[in-house]
Structures are given as C-alpha cells and as structure tokens.
Amino acid sequence: SQKIEQNSEALNIQEGKTATLTCNYTNYSPAYLQWYRQDPGRGPVFLLLIRENEKEKRKERLKVTFDTTLKQSLFHITASQPADSATYLCALANSGYALNFGKGTSLLVTP
Amino acid sequence: GAGVSQSPSNKVTEKGKDVELRCDPISGHTALYWYRQSLGQGLEFLIYFQGNSAPDKSGLPSDRFSAERTGGSVSTLTIQRTQQEDSAVYLCASSLDVAGATYEQYFGPGTRLTVT
C-alpha cells in the first residue's frame, strides 16, 4: 500500500540550530513533492515544491532535498527561530493534482 | 488579497442530520480541492474540481458525501445522514492548474464539524 511517513515524535531544538525533518514514501512515483506548514487551528501554508528531476531547492532559510532512489525528502530550516514552531507536512502526488499528505512532524524551537 | 474562505468555521450537528459546507476559492483559481483532517491524522483527499472537467471523486469515503462547484467558483460539500466518524476539520484549497504545470495549493481555515 502507499505510505508517506514522517517522524511522529515532536522535534525539539534550540534557537539558532538547524532543524531537519524527514519524509519517506513507499509505492509512489511522485512527479513532485511539496512541503507545507500548519499552525494550530489553521489550514496548511505552502512552503516549497521540488520536482523529481531536482535534487535540491532553497528558499531563504529553507532547504529541501529529494532523493527518488531512497524515496526520501529532507526539509531543513537553518538558523531556526521560535516563530518556526509549527507542524510541517510533506505531500506528494503520483499524477494529477490531488495531494497525499503525511501526518506531519511537530517542530518546537525554544529560545 | 482575499484568500480561500470557508463557512461556517464551526458546525455542530446531530447524528443523522445533513450538513453543507461552503468554500470560496481564490479568484481566478481553476482548481478546487476538498480534504478532511481528523484528530491525529493526516489530510485525507476527498474530491477535486478542475475547470469544466468531471470532478475526481475518488477520495469520497461513502455515497453520503457529495460536492458541487457552481460557475467554476464556489463549492459546497454536502454530507447526508451524518455519523460521528464524520467529525473532522474539512479543508478546502484552490490552485492555478494549467495543463502541464503544477502549482501550490492555497488552503482555507477549515470548517470544524462535530457530530453529536
């Protein structure tokens, strides 16, 4: 069966450090992968999209890697800040446009 | 500019009643999606509309669920004869979808449905 797995345990890091979140998938051949941020009581907010032929994508303090051989994406936040505390969701689609989401990893950045 | 809006923000209903949830997408976005998020679960795809094409209903969990999109804009998700397991946050998203291109989805704040 198709699965998208993200660390279910919350990730606690100190302000200024780099946070690394993992997304693993099975039985997908995604054309692209997206990362979203979700704050409590709100809808997800798009952060980054990376395509199957791209190895790495950067946006300000964010970096995403995509390894289709390992079937894994890593999401990095450098110089983390308490305002980065949220749940981060990985999403992908085989074809078409409907996304399948992981359950998300909760990140807590402490001062 | 205006984002995706949903109404109501909260809905409490009795088991067996029908409910309608509304979504106003971003103006100009041709694609509209409905998802639901249950406590401790990931977002679950329900249905997708793209322009005038037939909707992708592959995620609807039962025939009690239906959705329509009028005039290529506003969408309504209807749940008939609600059950307690229907309790969840129902999220709507819209995006620019042009053939051969892929765009991010913009989500509304969701409707929290509680079936008692």
Top-confidence residue, A1 or A100 = A100
Lowest mean pLDDT segment, chosen from A89-98, B13-22, B43-52, B97-106? B97-106
Top-confidence residue, A43 or A29 = A43
Q: Please state the rounded mean pLDDT for residues B1-18.
A: 94
| The pLDDT of residue A90 is above 60 | yes
Contact B104 A49 (CB under 8 A): yes
The pLDDT value recorded for residue B28 is 87
The pLDDT value recorded for residue A95 is 63
The pLDDT value recorded for residue A94 is 65
Alpha-carbon distance of B44 to B64, in angstroms, equals 16
The pLDDT value recorded for residue B96 is 84
DSSP B67-89: EEESTTS-EEEEE-S--GGG-EE
Least CB-CB distance to A101: which of B43, B97, B102? B43
Banded model confidence at residue B78, pLDDT cuts 50, 70, 90: very high
Least CB-CB distance to A102: which of B42, B104, B110? B42
| The pLDDT of residue B70 is above 70 | yes
The pLDDT value recorded for residue B101 is 59
| Phi, psi (degrees; rounded to nearest 5) at B86 | -80, -10
pLDDT 10s digits, B86-112? 999 999 999 887 655 567 899 999 999
Least CB-CB distance to A97: which of B41, B43, B48? B48
Banded model confidence at residue A18, pLDDT cuts 50, 70, 90: very high
Banded model confidence at residue A31, pLDDT cuts 50, 70, 90: confident
Least CB-CB distance to B107: which of A4, A32, A44? A44
Contact A97 B31 (CB under 8 A): yes
Rg of chain B taking only CA atoms, in angstroms: 14
| The pLDDT of residue A48 is above 60 | yes
Q: Tell me how many degrees the CA angle B24-B89-B6 measures, rounded to the nearest 5.
A: 15
Top-confidence residue, B102 or B28 = B28
Report the residue of B35, B105, B106 to disrupt the A interface, i.e. the one with the largest count of A CBs within 10 Å.
B105
Q: Please state the rounded mean pLDDT for residues B42-57.
A: 89
Secondary structure (H, E, C), B7-57: ECCEEEECCCCCEEEEEECCCCCCEEEEEEECCCCCEEEEEEEECCCCCEC
Query: Nearest chain B Cα to A32, which residue?
Result: B102
| The pLDDT of residue A102 is above 70 | yes
Q: What is the mean pLDDT of chain B?
A: 91
Residues of A with a Cβ under 8 Å from any B Cβ are 4, 31-32, 34, 41-46, 49, 51, 89, 91, 96-104
| The pLDDT of residue B11 is above 60 | yes
How buried is residue A26: exposed, middle or buried, by Cβ count under 10 Å (0-12/13-18/19+)?
A: exposed
